[in-house]
C-alpha cells in the first residue's frame, strides 16, 4: 500500500473506532454532563475520521467516506488494538481517553509542519477540538486523583496499569514509514512515541500515578497489519447494522 495512504487509514480507523466506543457512554455516564461530553467528543472523532476518509477518496480514487467507514471487512481495517477494547468502567474509558488524546494532539501538532498541504490544513482544523479533549481528560484525571480519595486514585492507577502498555499500539511501525519521514510528511512513529512517553510521565507525576512497566507491549501489536483483537468484528457488526439493512439507500 502507498505509504501516505497507509498512515491516513491508520489515523482514520483509530478515530472511527474510538469514536464509536466513546459514543457507547451516551445515556450511561456517571453524570449527565459526561453523557453530553463523551457524545460530543465521539462526534468530533468520527467527523475527523470522515475528513481523513474523504482525503483517501480524493487522493487515491478510493471508495466514498461512507463506504470506507461502513463497507469494509475486519481484515481491511488498520485500527490499533488500543481503540478496539470495550469501554469497561468509567475509569477505564477515562484513562483511555487521556492516553489516546494526548497521543493524538502530539500527532496533529507534528502534522501541522507536514510537507503535505492537505495534512497541514486538516491538522489546523482539528487542533481546537483536540485542545478541548485534552482539557476534559486532564480535568477528570485531576478530579479522580489529586482531588479524589483512595478508591478513585486506586481505580485510575489500575486502569493505567492495564492500558499504558496497550497504548504503544498507537505507535506501531508500518511498511514504508521511512518514506514519509524522508519526505517530511511527518516525524515517524518512534519520534511521536518518545514525545508521548515523556508527556504522559510528566502528567502522571502530577496526578501521583506510577507509570507501569511495558514488558508485554508486543502482544498488542498487529493492528497496522490488519490483525485485530476479537473485539473489533462485533463492534463493526453493531456499527454497520443500520447501514447493512439497505446498503444502497440514500440517507
Residue 17, all three cell numbers: 473506532
pLDDT at residue number 91:
97
Tell whether the model's pLDDT for residue 30 goes beyond 90: no
**In this structure, what DSSP letter does residue 91 have?**
H
pLDDT (tens digit, 9 = 90+) per residue, 95-127? 999 999 999 999 999 999 999 999 999 999 999
- Domains identified in the chain and CATH numbers: 3-245 (1.20.1260.10)
How far apart, in whole angstroms, are the C-alpha atoms of residue 111 and residue 180? 11
Residue 185, all three cell numbers: 510528511
**For the chain, how are helix, strand and coil distributed in percent, rounded to 5?**
70, 0, 30
User: Cell 499500539 belongs to which residue?
Assistant: 169
User: Cell 508486543 belongs to which residue?
Assistant: 218
pTM for this entry: 0.96
Least confident of 13-22, 34-43, 88-97, 142-151: 34-43
Tell whether the model's pLDDT for residue 154 goes beyond 60: yes
CB atoms within 10 A of CB 182: 10
Residue 129, all three cell numbers: 477540538
Residue 34, all three cell numbers: 459526561
**In this structure, what DSSP letter does residue 250 have?**
-
Concatenate the DSSP letters of all residues of 36-75 into one string: HHHHHHHHHHHHHHHHHHHHHHHHH----HHHHHHS--GG
Band (249; pLDDT cuts 50, 70, 90)? low
Residue 84, all three cell numbers: 478496539
Average pLDDT, the chain: 95
How far apart, in whole angstroms, are the C-alpha atoms of residue 77 and residue 227? 9
> What average pLDDT does the segment 45-59 reach?
97
> What average pLDDT does the segment 16-43 reach?
92
pLDDT (tens digit, 9 = 90+) per residue, 204-229? 999 999 999 887 899 999 999 999 99
Q: Which of 205, 200, 130 is nearest to 171 (CA)?
A: 200
Band (35; pLDDT cuts 50, 70, 90)? confident
Tell whether the model's pLDDT for residue 248 goes beyond 70: no
Residue 190, all three cell numbers: 518512534
pLDDT at residue number 34:
86
pLDDT at residue number 195:
98
Concatenate the DSSP letters of all residues of 181-242 into one string: HHTTS---HHHHHHHHHHHHHHHHHHTT-PPPP-TTGGGG--GGGT---TTHHHHHHHHTHH
CB atoms within 10 A of CB 152: 14
How far apart, in whole angstroms, are the C-alpha atoms of residue 80 and residue 67? 20
pLDDT at residue number 250:
63
Tell whether the model's pLDDT for residue 192 goes beyond 60: yes
Residue 61, phi-psi category: left (phi > 0), alpha (psi -120 to 50), beta (remainder) = left
Amino acid at each position: 500500500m502507498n505509504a501516505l495512504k497507509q498512515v491516513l487509514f491508520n489515523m482514520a480507523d483509530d478515530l472511527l473506532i474510538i469514536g464509536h466506543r466513546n459514543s457507547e457512554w451516551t445515556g450511561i455516564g456517571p453524570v449527565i454532563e459526561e453523557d453530553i461530553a463523551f457524545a460530543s467528543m465521539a462526534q468530533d472523532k468520527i467527523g475527523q475520521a470522515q475528513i481523513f476518509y474523504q482525503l483517501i477518496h480524493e487522493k487515491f480514487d478510493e471508495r466514498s467516506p461512507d463506504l470506507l467507514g461502513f463497507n469494509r471487512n475486519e481484515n481491511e481495517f488498520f485500527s490499533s488494538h488500543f481503540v478496539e477494547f470495550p469501554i469497561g468502567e468509567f475509569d477505564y474509558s477515562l484513562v483511555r481517553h487521556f492516553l489516546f488524546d494526548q497521543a493524538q494532539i502530539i500527532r496533529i501538532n507534528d502534522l501541522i509542519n507536514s510537507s503535505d498541504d492537505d495534512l497541514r490544513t486538516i491538522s489546523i482544523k482539528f487542533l481546537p477540538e483536540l485542545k478541548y479533549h485534552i482539557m476534559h481528560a486532564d480535568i477528570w484525571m485531576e478530579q479522580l486523583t489529586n482531588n479524589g480519595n483512595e478508591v478513585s486514585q486506586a481505580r485510575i492507577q489500575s486502569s493505567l496499569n492495564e492500558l499504558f502498555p496497550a497504548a504503544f499500539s498507537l505507535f506501531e511501525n508500518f511498511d514504508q514509514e521511512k518514506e514519509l519521514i524522508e519526505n517530511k510528511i511527518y516525524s515517524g512513529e518512534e519520534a511521536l512515541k518518545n514525545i508521548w512517553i515523556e508527556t504522559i510521565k510528566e502528567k502522571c507525576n502530577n496526578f501521583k500515578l506510577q507509570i507501569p512497566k511495558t514488558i508485554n507491549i508486543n502482544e498488542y501489536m498487529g493492528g497496522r497489519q490488519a490483525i485485530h483483537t476479537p473485539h473489533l468484528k462485533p463492534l463493526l457488526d453493531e456499527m454497520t447494522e443500520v447501514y447493512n439493512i439497505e446498503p444502497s439507500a440514500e440517507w
